[in-house]
Amino acid sequence: MDIQDIQNEIIDEFAFFNDWTERYEYLISLGKDLSPLDEAYKTPDNLISGCQSQVWLHASQDGDRIIFKADSDAILTKGVIALLLRVFSNQSAQDILSADIGFIDKIGLKEHLSPTRANGLASMIKHIKLYALAFQSKM
């Protein structure tokens, strides 16, 4: 599935919910379902600055695909990063770098996060794109 198809799926899922209370509950459930990040990757190098809570992001390459793994000490943030991993993990560096990530606005995520969490979201996306840029330059 390509990045746009995944985003469309997420938009459809969020449209199913009546209000943001239900959407927050959904994000929390996504966070609970996220596989834990191996403690070996919870290092200062993998810690994303700019987030209110601690978020670790690790990337590896499998052929031309980038595999992201992440974790957070805050359950809502963990749900947000789970959404981002769903969109970007197992995609090529080029697809990640050229992706229009309009789903964030379409589901209203940014406007329903506190300003510090919205800054954290921007930092997470920036780090994902930086990993993609780094892996693209190695190819």
User: Positive or negative CA dihedral for 117, 119, 124, 125?
Assistant: positive
* Token pair for 83: 């959404």
Contacts of 42 (CB under 8 A, 6+ apart): 56, 71
The residue type at 28:
I
**96, 128 Cβ separation under 8 angstroms:** yes
Catalytic residue chosen out of the listed positions 48, 51, 87, 104 = 51
Asked about 122 being catalytic, the answer comes back as: no
User: How many other β-carbons are positioned within 10 Å of the β-carbon of residue 130?
Assistant: 13
Distance CA 113, CA 80 (A): 10
Question: Which sequence positions are flagged as catalytic?
Answer: 51
